[in-house]
Amino acid sequence: MARYAIGVDFGTASGRAILVDVADGRQLATAVSEYSHGVIDDVLPLDDRRIVLPPDWALQDPEDYIRVFRETVPAVLRESGVDPTDVIGLGLDFTACTMLPTKADGTPLATLPQFRANPHAWVKLWKHHAAQPDADRINAVAEATGQPWLDRYGGRISSEWFFSKALQILDEAPEIYAAADRLIEGGDWVVWRLTGVETRNACVAGYKALWSKRDGFPDANYFAALDPRLGTIVDDKMSREIALAGERAGGLSAEAADWTGLPIETAVAIANVDAHVAVPAATVVEPGRMVMIMGTSTCHMVLSVDERSVPGMCGHVQDGIIPGYVGYEAGQSCVGDHFSWFVENAVPEPYQQAARARGLDIHTLLEEKAARLRPGESGLLALDWWNGNRSVLVDAALGGLLVGATLATTPEEIYRALIEATAYGTRVIIETFETHGVPIREIVACGGLAEKSPLTLQIYADVTGRPFKLAASDQASALGSAMFGAVAAGAGAGGHATIEDASAAMARLKDRVYEPIAANREVYDVLYREYLRLHDYFGRGGNDVMKTLRALRAGARAAEFGAAESGSGATASSSTDAAAPIEA
Amino acid sequence: MARYAIGVDFGTASGRAILVDVADGRQLATAVSEYSHGVIDDVLPLDDRRIVLPPDWALQDPEDYIRVFRETVPAVLRESGVDPTDVIGLGLDFTACTMLPTKADGTPLATLPQFRANPHAWVKLWKHHAAQPDADRINAVAEATGQPWLDRYGGRISSEWFFSKALQILDEAPEIYAAADRLIEGGDWVVWRLTGVETRNACVAGYKALWSKRDGFPDANYFAALDPRLGTIVDDKMSREIALAGERAGGLSAEAADWTGLPIETAVAIANVDAHVAVPAATVVEPGRMVMIMGTSTCHMVLSVDERSVPGMCGHVQDGIIPGYVGYEAGQSCVGDHFSWFVENAVPEPYQQAARARGLDIHTLLEEKAARLRPGESGLLALDWWNGNRSVLVDAALGGLLVGATLATTPEEIYRALIEATAYGTRVIIETFETHGVPIREIVACGGLAEKSPLTLQIYADVTGRPFKLAASDQASALGSAMFGAVAAGAGAGGHATIEDASAAMARLKDRVYEPIAANREVYDVLYREYLRLHDYFGRGGNDVMKTLRALRAGARAAEFGAAESGSGATASSSTDAAAPIEA
């Protein structure tokens, strides 16, 4: 008798559900729900007031997440015609760190009238980058006090992570911090809403909140050194009970059963991180094969038996991706976003007209033209830091660079140079892993960009010198979530006993393999050496022009906001001054 | 009784005549003739064969120059209604170094059937950049043999100059070199065609052909050291008789009188360089005030009583601009061209649509948006080397750079950063002059870009900290040529005795002065320091990535042309290999 699982993948702009057969991973139906407020990075969506957000802010509305369940789960049941009682489990994955403050019963502060006009009450999305001063303080104090966990994260904590965001709330909105009974990841919050049970998943706790299986969280003295009010944050607003991927968080509540059309008590898996859950869906449950989720940004994951310190990576967590292995994560913060920026801001009209005339997506046209160029022919080299650098350098204040332009430089040459730059960024990550004892033999890619751009995969293979394969599912995260849903249900219920079993049964690769081409590798080796030299010069303090430019920009913006008198001066105002939300 | 002069200005894409009153410079008529073959940088304009030019080539058709006289002089006579017998003189100016090989009677080799399919028979335009290996050899041998004239040119000779181009002909087409009885500047050649008298003007001889009033040309031993066949080039193919600006070259020949509608024997002035002739037309006949002709590229000219060595400038020539003074020249090779490149290659469709909807030129729209930004607000910094660097570094192999881009970077921010980059380039030139004893108190700008872009002039004033004024005539070069025509005719014929007299009578400034704004200067001082640091790092050997990229590009192109097996390899083929014209 056929059994099914549902995976729900919460992305940056929308949530998506798929319904799959647990025997072979066959996908029977899929449905998407766009978040009605999307990414809130400009003005809070309020009817009665206009609250303008400073640069680098990115918020979301928690109500949008609940709507995903209400819209997509009934839709996949309808589309597939599957009897809801044959659905044995539901798993979900979420962007991370995406966190919010709630009351003790899970009510988000953003939904309470007294807090709604305060941006700090809303969900801080993973790409909210306004907590950099807080991340700087976390790093400085950790270094000064010799925190042992710092090594696990390559020596630097990101502004995107949990305590950076929590500290920003405390610094800038102490009343919100005080009113928050819980500070919780979006993924754990939606599981709470589904089951009525508050759980905390090991993956996000380990990668984003400095937790480890062996040592737990940083101690209270460290937090108190950051701010006396922060000393008891873990016991006051979080939890020390951390659950592993594949465990059962609970059963669907009556309310959630009503939202979804699934039976009460359907097994719900512990939440997971969107990127990590794709690893077993990409057939990877062992060391040596890196999974890359290539979308707006790229996430790199690899497993290892041993614990190694790899500088500048996003972190490694025992049992963090696949129970039994150390899971390593790295990231590139600007990949698909990079190409979208280019298309929106730098592709001339005749190219758009040509694409329309031929019925092509503009990316397809650019890729076609860029594919005709040989390696080195553009004469261009770029540093892929339009959105900072998330791995190895871990510095959100870095900026993009393009060098070698001439009056003959064409849009497709720049487009190709941007693709190549992200490939060099990937090679830096791979080589850093290998140098520190985490070997990477081949890459399995998934995600929208990998699906859409054969040129990108070939360039990546040529630049890294490694074969690139492609996960068969075009919804690897959602599939992975469904697999964990099947594991949460367990073999006894017709699911799977382990994620390895689920991967063996439900995950596949595509046939096409992108092998490195020797002649291209030669040229790219030369270009990569040049990339590395620029990477180190601009990224490791040889020339801090990118930071100077960012400070001048912040100063000019602050002057524009009328926030300070410092805008026209050479010394920019501090980021904190420039970053206060204003009512305008 | 009113007397008139005609000035003819030969630009890169067209020639333009103006007819002015010699008493007050009042412009009565103007006419333009576009060159029918424009800039030939792709394929030779032949009916029967397809000769493809390599990258960096730029040729012209000498017949296009003669058509300028035939079309524009009759047109200004017609338009003004002036009696041709009241026109007392004609002067002309030309791009430089723009040179061609001819027979002894002035017939261009390009017009002879046996040479027409050889690109080296055609006019090499100033921006023909394929003679870089020849320029490198000229510089290396000059340094090795301690040539005293090297200092006058800031220590480096450009690939654009006369002997670089001559040596390229000898190297790559010895049969053309042998067949050429004369190698001559375009300006001197058209004067020859007008008067039947071959003359050589001091301005171009001094700035582009290593001649000085005191020492003449480099000696034969030096030329022989470059190539034994080149030892007698000056006596064989050039002339040691050099005439000063304002002298009378001769009178119009019967043939040229027929072309133009002017009387036979109308005074024709010695040819001049387009940029230099604008100096007196911009009211500058004394030291301390720099003239900038701002167009596709920018030329900077300043006068001094003393001879000073200024490193990396285009040169200084006694009597080269205004008789009695040392004339200094510097150049920026990518200014208006830069903005045109940007508009053609990097401005997105919605901007073009918005400009059309409002009936605006796209540059006007971009300038309007860029003008709303404060200094520093773009967060961007660029090196203005899209077309290499012509002054201070003197290196055509340098490439453009943009740093600081983020996912929020807009087209107008890039546009403004490109304008600012050219302003920093100007400041480097001004400061280099001042450091070496040539003071610059204020700037008088002219040329199309100065006419069209108030934002550019304000940014230049803010960045350089000096007031920018604007020549009243929007045709400063043509006016200057007319002024020299009036001097060639002489005071006795109703013209002027000296260029100073002509300037006092005929040249004016506009009322508006662009004064530096103190608050903007502060920010630009910070940005300029960052610019200088990048300038020196990438321009003085700290990091030769731009050259590596250019070599890889040449290698890839060569491989594409099928010229060599070296394209896919890391070592690019030499520029010479990559640069051979091919019949395709």
DSSP class of B48: S
Reply yes or no on whether the pLDDT at B426 is more than 80.
yes
Q: What is the pLDDT of residue A140?
A: 96
Please answer yes or no on whether B379 and A550 come within 8 Å at the CB atom. yes
- How far apart are the CA of A352 and the nearest CA of chain B, in angstroms? 7
Q: How far apart are CA A136 and CA A157, in angstroms?
A: 8
* pLDDT of B565 higher than 60: no
Segments in B443-517 forming alpha helices (H): 448-452, 454-464, 476-489, 499-506
The predicted-structure confidence for A528-547, as pLDDT tens digits, reads as follows 999 999 999 999 999 999 99
Nearest chain A residue to B407, by CA: A386
Q: Judge residue B486's burial from the number of C-beta atoms within 10 Å of its C-beta, 0-12 exposed, 13-18 middle, 19 or more buried.
A: buried
- Chain A residues near residue B376 by CB distance under 8 angstroms: 549, 552-553, 555-556, 572
pLDDT of residue A568: 35
Say if B517 is an interface residue toward chain A (CB within 8 Å): no
Token readout for A36 is 């009605």
The tokens for A110 are 């953003």
The shortest CB-CB distance from A523 to any of B380, B405, B568 is to B568
CB–CB contact A553 B376 (8 Å):
yes
Closest alpha carbon within chain A to B385:
A406
B456: closest CA of chain A, how far (Å): 19
3-state secondary structure of B397: coil
Residue-wise pLDDT tens digits, A420-463: 999 999 999 999 999 999 999 999 999 989 999 999 999 999 99
Q: What is the mean pLDDT of chain B?
A: 93
Mutation test of the interface with chain A: which of B406, B522, B531, choosing the one with the most A Cβ atoms within 10 A?
Answer: B406
Inform me whether the C-beta atom of residue A46 falls under 8 Å from chain B C-beta atoms. no
- The DSSP annotation for A339-387 comes to HHHHHHHH-BHHHHHHHHHTT--HHHHHHHHHHTSPTTTT--EEE--BT
Indicate whether A168 pLDDT > 90.
yes
Chain B residues closer than 8 Å to A462 by CB:
none
User: Two tokens at B236?
Assistant: 């064989």
Query: Could you tell me if A54 lies within 8 Å of chain B, comparing CB atoms?
Result: no
What pLDDT does B314 receive?
78
Residues B74-123: tens digit of each pLDDT = 999 999 999 999 999 999 999 999 999 999 999 999 999 999 999 999 99
- Least confident window among A28-37, A167-176, A535-544, B152-161: B152-161
Q: Does A549 touch chain B (CB under 8 A)?
A: yes
Mutate to test the interface with B, among A374, A378, A413, A520 (most CBs of B within 10 A): A374
pLDDT surpasses 90 at A316:
no
Please enumerate in sequence order all residues whose Cβ is within 8 A of that of A555, keeping only pairs 6 or more positions apart, or say none.
Answer: A566, A567, A569, A571, A572, A573, A578, B376
Instruction: Please report the beta strands in B366-423, taking only residues with DSSP state E, as ranges in sequence order.
Output: 381-383, 400-405
Nearest alpha carbon to residue B245 among B72, B25, B505, B503: B503
Within 10 angstroms of residue B36's Cβ, the number of other Cβ atoms is 10
Among B220, B228, B233, residue whose Cα is nearest residue B180: B233
Name which of B378, B520, B530 is nearest A548 (Cβ-Cβ). B530
- Chain B residues whose beta carbon lies within 8 Å of the beta carbon of residue A527: 552
Using the Cβ of A534 and the Cβ atoms of chain B, whether some distance falls under 8 Å is answered with yes
Rounded CA-CA distance A383/A399 in Å is 8
At residue A100's C-alpha, the angle toward residues A33 and A145, to 5°, is: 135
Which residues, other chains included, contact B512 with Cβ-Cβ below 8 Å and sequence gap of 6+?
Answer: B470
The 10 Å Cβ neighbour count of residue A553 is 26
Tell me which chain B residue has its CA closest to the CA of residue A377.
B553
Mutation pick from A377, A412, A543 vs chain B, by most beta carbons of B within 10 Å, is: A377
Q: Do B545 and A403 touch (CB under 8 A)?
A: yes
* Cβ–Cβ pairs < 8 A, chains A and B: 213
Residues of B in contact with A526 (CB under 8 A): 548, 552, 570
Q: How confident is the model at residue B558 (pLDDT cuts 50, 70, 90)?
A: confident
pLDDT of res. A564: 37
Q: Which residue of B has its CA nearest to A354?
A: B349
Residues with Cβ < 8 Å from B89, sequence gap 6 or more?
Answer: B5, B6, B266, B267, B268, B269, B482, B485, B486, B487, B488, B489, B493, B495
Determine the straight-line distance between the first and last CA of chain B, rounded to whole angstroms: 61
pLDDT at B561 over 70: no
Q: What mean pLDDT comes out for the span B251-267? A: 98
Nearest CA in chain A to B531: A545
Average pLDDT along chain A: 93
User: ipTM more than 0.90?
Assistant: no
Closest CA to B387 of B455, B298, B256: B298
Which band of pLDDT confidence, cut at 50, 70 and 90, is reported for residue A563?
very low
pLDDT tens-place string over residues B217-236 = 999 999 999 999 999 999 99
Neighbours of B511 (CB within 10 A): 8
Q: How confident is the model at residue B153 (pLDDT cuts 50, 70, 90)?
A: confident
What residue of A is the nearest CA neighbor of B399? A404
Contacts of A269 (CB under 8 A, 6+ apart): A89, A90, A91, A92, A245, A246, A247, A248, A249, A481, A484, A485, A487, A488
Which of A506, A480, A29 has the alpha carbon at shortest distance from A272?
A480
Given CB atoms, is A148 within the 8 Å cutoff of chain B?
no
Q: What is the DSSP letter of A537?
A: H
User: Which residues in chain A have Cβ-Cβ distances shorter than 8 Å to B421?
Assistant: none
Q: Which of B42, B57, B374 to probe by mutation at the A interface, max A CB count within 10 Å?
A: B374
Q: What 8-state DSSP symbol labels residue B152?
A: G
- Give the three-class secondary structure for A415: helix
Which of B375, B386, B525 is opposite residue A407, by nearest beta carbon? Answer: B386
Residue % of chain A over a pLDDT of 90: 87
Q: Is the Cβ–Cβ distance between A371 and A355 less than 8 Å?
A: no
Q: Would the pLDDT of A74 be above 90?
A: yes
- Determine whether the interchain pair A567/B409 forms a contact, defined as Cβ–Cβ distance below 8 Å: no
Residues of A in contact with B347 (CB under 8 A): 346, 348-349
Mutate to test the interface with B, among A333, A526, A528, A536 (most CBs of B within 10 A): A526
| Cβ atoms of residues A157 and A164 within 8 Å | yes
B107: closest CA of chain A, how far (Å): 33
- Which residues have C-beta within 8 Å of that of residue B576, sequence separation ≥ 6? B133, B171, B172
DSSP B389: B
Reply yes or no on whether the pLDDT at B341 is more than 90.
Answer: yes
Lowest-confidence region among A185-189, A466-470, B332-336, B351-355: B332-336
Rounded to two decimals, the pTM is 0.85
DSSP helix/strand/coil, A32: strand
- pLDDT for A582 beyond 80: no
Q: Helix/strand/coil (H, E, C) string of A231-286?
A: CCHHHHHCCCCCECCCCEEEECCHHHHHHHCCCCCCEEECCEEHHHHHHHHCCCCC
**pLDDT tens, residue by residue, B374-423:** 999 999 999 999 999 988 998 888 999 999 999 999 999 999 999 999 99
Structure confidence at residue A108 as a pLDDT band (50, 70, 90): very high
Give A-chain residues touching B424 at CB under 8 angstroms.
none
- Cβ atoms of B239 and B106 closer than 8 Å: no
Specify whether the CB–CB gap between A345 and B410 falls below 8 A: yes
Measured N-to-C along each axis, helices A499-506 and A476-489 cross at an angle, to the nearest 10 degrees, of 130
Yes or no, beta carbons of A522 and B374 under 8 Å apart? no
The SS3 assignment for A10 reads: strand
Q: Which amino acid is at B323?
A: P
Within 317-336 of B, beta carbons closer than 8 Å to A belong to 334
First to last CA, chain A: 61
Interval A519-531: pLDDT, tens: 999 999 999 999 9
Output the six-digit token pair for A540. Answer: 């490791």
Is the per-residue pLDDT at B583 higher than 60? yes
Q: Is the alpha carbon torsion for A52, A53, A58, A61 positive or negative?
A: negative
How far, in whole angstroms, is CA B67 from its chain's centroid?
A: 21
Q: Are the CB atoms for B93 and B161 separated by under 8 Å?
A: no
Residues A189, A94: contact at Cβ < 8 Å? no
Q: Which residue has the tokens 């009597």?
A: B319
Indicate yes or no: CB of B568 within 8 angstroms of CB of A522.
Answer: yes
Residues of chain B in contact with residue A407, where contact means CB-CB under 8 angstroms, are 334, 337-338, 341, 386-387
User: Which chain A residues are Cβ-neighbours of B55 within 8 angstroms?
Assistant: 408
- Statement: residue A350 has pLDDT above 80: yes
Task: Please give the backbone phi and psi of residue B510, each rounded to the nearest 5 degrees, phi first.
Answer: -80, 165
A 344-403 residues inside an 8 A Cβ radius of B: 344-349, 352-353, 373-381, 386-387, 399-403
Distance from CA of A483 to the nearest CA of B (A): 35
Residue B519 Cα, gap to closest chain A Cα (Å):
5
The DSSP string of B158-201 is -TTSHHHHHHHHHHH-HHHHHH-SEEEEHHHHHHHHHHS----B
Does B404 contact A399 at a Cβ distance shorter than 8 Å? yes
- Look-up of token digits 């009153």: B21
Q: At what angle do helices B454-464 and B362-371 cross, to 10 degrees?
A: 40
Of residues A228 and B562, more confidently modeled: A228
| CB atoms A404 and B549 under 8 Å | yes
Q: Which of B454, B424, B419 is nearest to B340 (CA)?
A: B419
**What pLDDT score was predicted for residue A559?**
80
Mean per-residue pLDDT, B112-141: 96
Residue A559 — left, alpha, or beta (φ > 0 → left; ψ -120 to 50 → alpha)?
A: alpha
Q: Is the pLDDT of residue B576 over 70?
A: no
Residue B541 forms contact with A (CB below 8 Å): no
Could A568 and B522 be called an inter-chain contact, meaning their C-beta atoms sit closer than 8 Å? yes
pLDDT tens column, A296-315: 889 999 999 998 988 888 77
**A528 shares contact with chain B (CB less than 8 Å):** no
